[in-house]
Structures are given as structure tokens and as C-alpha cells.
Structure 1
Amino acid sequence: MTIKENKSIVWVTPNHFIDVDLQIVPYLAKTFKIHWIVLGKENRPTAYGNIETICKKIKSLTTEYYTINGKWYMPYQFFKYRKFFKYVISLPSNIIYIDSALTFWIYYAAAYTLPKEKVILATHNVKTPKGARLEHFVRFFMKKTLNNFYNFHVFSKNQEKYLKNTIQGKNILYAPLTLKDYGEKKPRTENPEITNFLSFGHIRRYKRIDLLINAAQKLHEEVEIPFKITIAGNCTSWEKYQKLIKYPQLFDLKIGFINDDEVSDLFSNADFLVLPYQDLAQSGAITVAFNYHIPVITSDIIQFREFVENGKNGFLFKSEDINDLKCSMYKALMLKKDNKYNTLVESSKQFVKNNYALSSIAEKYTDYFNKF
């Protein structure tokens, strides 16, 4: 593969998306010269240390932090982001890669400032999930973004298909999320005889945690096989879910912000990750499960069907169907009881090996970047 000489990239990542870019940016810096700008008040530590520690040995990768204070919705943010984007333009680059949604003042600052022919936008939610936070607002600005920019990175095949069907003539990179690694898998500290179903990540309406709670309680009433439900994630309206719980002893609740150094423990003690979403663009949580070789139970929406082979690396259930979710969880329990769980784990490992090798993901980026 021939690399164009002196190709350089300015890469912008908001602090909350560090885990998305943490593996791919240093890997791509073996091929390209990258200046990595992290937007945030401070360096968010990762499971492997600070970004500077990770990147300091890579001569072609430089990093800096850029802070933009204030509420995102205030009008003065337009001027702050315009100043930031002007700074980005001033840096030598062939490509400007931005891993952030352009909403409200950020969108207007970007649209009026950035050279669109060299900007690539990572679009995590081309199709805004139903029930997402500020759903209609976000959908409006995504439509404006798609209409007024040219180069987009999508992280799933279904989002690529949706984008191509929605608007013509865009230059699209499809490359999946890299596996999210929060440190080595640890020895299990909880009773392995009790099957642990894990729900992990920010709790939003479209993720249908209510389905999980109700299905688990129905299963608890029907079987004597021991299991528990761990729900870990931040939620601004947990009270409505708490009211659904009839059997508190069935649930291990960790409601609140989950620190990076807690994630490995959560997955090391989990047997299955449960994702009962009614809609989504793509799931970051599933890539954490893949990293720790945890089989998944997901709804059968199209976004999950490209990741889950029913019965081979997890289970699919009919979306929004409590009884079908209950049945999938029962199948999972029986796998543990019949000592067939490890077969599912090995199948999941093979799926990850075939589809999520960092080198093959990076090659997709490289081929796309070489066209600029």
C-alpha cells in the first residue's frame, strides 16, 4: 500500500469520546502524522493511563487539550467554537477529522468556518434513535449536517445503508468501532453459580431497561435457577424504573456515572450483556462485551443483527417483546446449567477475531484517508 508523502491529520475528539479513538489514533499514527486535540477541561484517565503516556513514544503523534467553557446552548458558544475551528484550520493538515456531533452553535460555527472538502465527520447517529435525549433537536441538526458537509465516517453497515438511502453523493467511510478495552479481564469475585446478566451504559428511554426489569422478574417467578441482574449506568430519571422493581434482591443496582476503572470488574463478573434496545445507531457497550468475550442478548432490530448470530455468539429476541426476552434469558440460564456456556464464549471469541482485528479496522481508515 502506497502512502502519500507528508499526509497529516488534525484529529478532534471530545473528552467523552476518548474511548472511541484511544486505540485507533495511535495505530494510525504509524502511517500518518496526527495532531490530536482533545476537547475537555482535563485529561480523563483511561484504564491504561493518560493519553500522553500512551502516545509519547509515537513520534508522528502529538497531543493537546483545548478547553471550551460554558453551557452548550448559550449564544456565545458560536464565537468560542468559531475561534476553535479557526485554530484547527491554522494547523498544517490534509485532513481534519472531527469525532463529534455538530449541534446548535457548534454546527453553525463549523458550517461557516471549516473547509468542508477536507473535513471528515464521525457520525455516530446518522439515524437518531427514537427516545434519544433531545431527539427532535438532534435529528434536525443531523439533517443539516448531512446536507451541508461531504465526508462522513459511519460505524455500522446499517448506518452506512441508511445514509446512502437518505442522501446521495456523499463520501462515506465505513469502519466499525474498535473494541473498548478497560484493562485486563480479572478473576471473578462473585459466585459463578449465579448467572449474572449485565446492563451497562447511560440509561436512556430507547434502551428499554423497563423490558429487562419486567422480563427478569417474570423469569424469577417461573424458575428456581439462581440469577441476578446488574444494572450499571447513569440515569436522570431512575425513579420510574425503580418503581417497577418487585424483587429488590434480584437486582444489583449501580446507578450513577461508572468510572473507567470499574468497567473491567463489571464485565469480569458478567455472564451475559443484555441490550433490549428498541432503536439505536450503534452500540458502544457491545464492543466492550466483545473485548471481554461476554456473549450478548439483544433485540432483533437491524442494528444488532449484523453483530449477533443467534445461538452462536449470543441470542436475539423479538424487539419490545417481554416474553421473548424472558425466553432468551431462560436459554442463557440453561446453557450455564448444561455446561455449554463456554462453547458460546469460544464462538464469540472467533467472531471478534474475524471482524474486529485492529489492523483490519485501521486499513479501512487508511484506504479512505489516502483518497484525500
Structure 2
Amino acid sequence: MKSKDIIAVIEPVGGHGGLDYYDFNMLNSIKMQHGYDANLYTCDETSEYESVELVYKNIYGETNKFIRGLNYVKGTLFALLDAKRRSAKIVHLHFVDFGFLEYYNLILAKKVFGFRVVGTVHDVESFEKYAKGDSSRHNYEKFLTLLDAAVLHTEYAKNELVKNLKSNIVDAKKIETIYGPDFDVESLDSNFIEKNVAREHLNLPQDRKIILFFGQIKKVKGLDLLLKALAEVAKKEPSVLLVIAGKVWKDDYSEYENIIEEYGLANYVDQRIGYVNNDDVPHYFNAADLVVLPYRKIYNSGVLIRSMSFGTPVLASDFGPFKEFIIPGKNGFLFEAENVESLAENLHEIMADMTSLKQVSLEERASIKEHFALDSIGKQYCDLYESVLNM
């Protein structure tokens, strides 16, 4: 391994979808390793940062879709040309979808520029679709076969992906689990804000028991389940307040407004719909007594990791990645997935006895320090890069 081999990280979502914090931590984790350096190429909605090139310009918004597509193509081309100029050894692509533009990135990096390519698969849901007979299955398998290595952020996601692939097409040894760098362990203490200060900053009441639903609002995240459970809890705990903070993604928010009206929840829900800027994020988590993740399906949850890093107790659905990280009653809570009654019962029990939350908070932070130190994550990435370079 030569000193300071360069890794070109290409992740177009960045600040547009809240991946900027993740990106910066990934960048830092790689730079912690003596033999590697890294540059990030992302979208222009991302704040400026060391070793970050904002090459994807005007690829989101109301501009003509064809123009945005051309901007995307130009962004990737510029990123790869710059990576070549810097003598990068590996291109690390990120996939939140497996469409034409993602395939373009992969073909250009691998076949045209000749890079070794590592890919992080953030969402395996597309594999679910083709596993049920979708005719595009072979397209997704092409992604995996072209990659020199793939990264997933939970064992659950890795297992879901592997079981849906033909063993003679994809070598499972090329697929690694590396926990997502969703935060920096070193920032644990600096991110702490007194609850009353956080609530004052956000103009939230000091005398309510606050439940937080944070992040993108989409059907798979089960906000409807939480609202219906809240209706039951509010009858017994009238001081409860649900704060919804995040922007809507391919969902009809009016459905949730209808539930709020139907169940008479206006006094129990604070709706803050829209993008949450990075400066306000620590305030939301420190202001909350409990974060609830009533997801129907997920492969990795940055909100879970962020919650645990702030020491904010979490109540989550009892499947997949949540079971991978949460030990019920010790460092978090679980309820039966998609079961409103189970969610309501657990919510009421937690809200009725807030004393248990302090110890859970301490255990959460201990879990985070054990599994998510950036130097450890960076070493795993760089070990993977070294194995790819030695192929």
C-alpha cells in the first residue's frame, strides 16, 4: 500500500437528503487511517467542507427533469475526471436507488475510467421487488457483479440482499457489513444540550412529555401507526406531545392530517414539516423524552443511531436492524411491528414511568461508543479498500 492512496467518494444526495453529516463522518473516518486520503463529490445543497467538491449542481428542485439529468451526468463526469487527475485508486459509489443514473455512474467509473469500485447499498428495498418476480432483477444483479465490493450498514440488510441473489452470480465474500458513520463518537459530549435549553430554542413547552418522530416522512415509516397509538396514550397521559420534524418524501401528508383531525389530536401534535437544518438537529433530540421509530420496513436507520448518540431513549419496531442494536429494557425499547395496540401499551408504560429512561440513556451512549467509533469504522473501510486493491 502506497502512502496516502486516494479514495474518491461519490455520493450525489448530500445535504439535499440529510446525508451530508454521514458523508463528512465517512470522509473523516477514512482520513484517520495513515495510508489513505479521500475526496467527496456531492450536490450543491451541501455545506462547504474540507476535501468536498460540490460537482452535482442543480440536480434537485423544479427545473426541467431533462436538464437536471444532464446536470447529474456532468457532475459524475467531472467527479471521475477529477479523481483521475488526483490519481485516485478506488471510486466509492453510494446507492439509494438502482436506476439509470446510478447505473451510468457505475459503468462510467468501472468500464470507461477503469477504477476499482466499491459501492455502499443504503436501501435494499429494490431487491425485495425483483425477488418477487420483477423483471428488472437482472439489472440489480448487474450492479453487484460490476462492483469489486459492496458495503451494507447492518447484518440484517446484508442477509436480505444475499438471500435474494443467485449464488453463482455474486460472491458473498465481496459483501461486507460496516456500521454507518452517522455521527462522531468524539462529539457525544459537545452535542449535549440541557433539555430546557433545547426546548426553549425550539419554542417547545417545558411541561410536556415529548415524543419525537424525526426524519423523512414516508409510508414505510409508519407515522399513521404512531398517531393512532398516540390517541390511546393521550387519554391516560394528557401531558404527552408528539413532535413531527422532517420533510415529506413521496407521500401524501394529508392522510396524517386527517388522522389528527379524526382522533382529535390537535393539542397533542406539534407539526414541523420541512427540512431540519443541521444546527437544530441536536436541539430536537435533546428536547425529546423519547424517539419513536414505528417503521414497517427499514434496512438501516440513521435516526436510530443519532438518537442513541444523543442518549435519547428509543422505542422501535421489533424487526431487522432495530433488534440488531436494541436490547429491550436496557438500551432501548421494542414493540410488535405494525401493532398499534402494542405501540400504545409500550408508549403508555414508558410515559407513566419516566425514571427508567435515565439508565437507558446511559446504556445507549455506551453502546454507541462500543460500535461506532470513527477510527474503527475507518479501519474497516480501509481494510476493505486494501483487499480490493490486492485483488
2:293 matches 1:279: no
Q: Would you say 1:115 and 2:110 are equivalent positions?
A: yes
Contact conserved, 1:13 with 1:36, CA < 8 A, in 2? no
Cα 1:148/1:230, change in 2 over 3 Å: same
Q: Map 1:124-135 to 2 at 5 A.
A: 124-128=122-126
- In structure 2, the residue matched to 1:266 is 284
Alignment CA distance shift 1:4-1:164 (3 Å) = farther
| Among 1, 18, 23, the residue aligned to 2:20 | 18
Which residue, 163, 176, 200 being the options, matches 2:214? 200
Amino acid across the alignment from 1:205: K
Q: Which whole-Å CA distance do the structure 1 matches of 2:56 and 2:330 have between them?
A: 45
Deviation at 1:38, TM superposition (A): 2.7
State the match for 1:365 in structure 2: 381
- For the structure 1 residues 35 and 302, does the alpha-carbon distance in structure 2 shift closer, same or farther, using more than 3 Å as the test? closer
Q: Which runs of 5+ in 1 are unaligned?
A: 53-61
Alignment partner for residue 179 of structure 2, among 176, 181, 185? 176
Alignment of 1:1-372 (within 5 A): 4-14=2-12, 15-16=14-15, 17-30=19-32, 31-42=34-45, 44-45=46-47, 50-52=48-50, 62-70=51-59, 74=66, 76=70, 80=74, 83-84=77-78, 86-88=80-82, 90-91=84-85, 92-101=87-96, 103-115=98-110, 118-128=116-126, 142-167=140-165, 168-170=170-172, 171-180=174-183, 184-189=191-196, 190=199, 193-221=207-235, 223-224=236-237, 226-235=239-248, 236-245=251-260, 246-336=264-354, 339-371=355-387, 372=389
Amino acid at match of 2:191: E
Evaluate the alpha carbon distance shift between residue 34 and residue 323 of structure 1 in structure 2; reply closer, same or farther with a 3 A threshold: same
Structure 2: 5+ residue runs without aligned partners? 200-204
In 1: Cα distance, 2:136 partner to 2:284 partner: 31
Q: TM-score, structure 2 length as denominator?
A: 0.80
Aligned-partner Cα distance in 2 for 1:141–1:194: 50
- Whether the 8 Å contact between 2:313 and 2:357 is mirrored in structure 1 is no
* CA pair 138-362 structure 1, distance change in 2 beyond 3 A: farther
C-alpha distance in 1, partners of 2:4/2:366?
Answer: 37
Give the partner amino acid of 2:118: I
Q: Report the 3-state secondary structure (helix = DSSP H, G, I; strand = E; otherwise coil) of the residue aligned with 1:36.
A: strand
Query: Displacement of 1:13 after TM fit?
Result: 2.7
Larger CA deviation: 92-101 vs 210-219: 92-101
CA contact (8 A) 2:41 2:79 kept: no
3-state SS, counterpart of residue 366 of structure 2: helix
Give the drift of 1:162: 2.1
Q: What is the letter of the counterpart of residue 19 of structure 1?
A: Y
C-alpha separation in 2, matches of 1:354 and 1:283: 18
| Number of aligned residues | 349
Larger helix proportion, structure 1 or 2?
A: 2
Q: 1:273–1:294: 8 Å Cα contact kept in structure 2?
A: yes
- Once the 2 structures are TM-superposed, how far is the Cα of residue 4 of structure 1 from its aligned partner? 4.5
Q: CA deviation at 1:173?
A: 2.6
Contact residue 21 and residue 182 of structure 2 kept, 8 A = no
For 1:305, give the aligned amino acid: K
Aligned to 2:280, the other structure's residue is in SS state: helix
Shift of 1:273: 0.8
- How does the TM-score come out when normalised to structure 1? 0.84
Kindly report the root-mean-square deviation, in angstroms, between the aligned alpha carbons of the 2 structures.
2.9
Q: Is the 8 A contact 1:11 1:96 kept in 2?
A: yes
Q: Percent identical across equivalent pairs? A: 21
More moved, 70-79 vs 299-308: 70-79
- Name 1:57's counterpart in structure 2: none
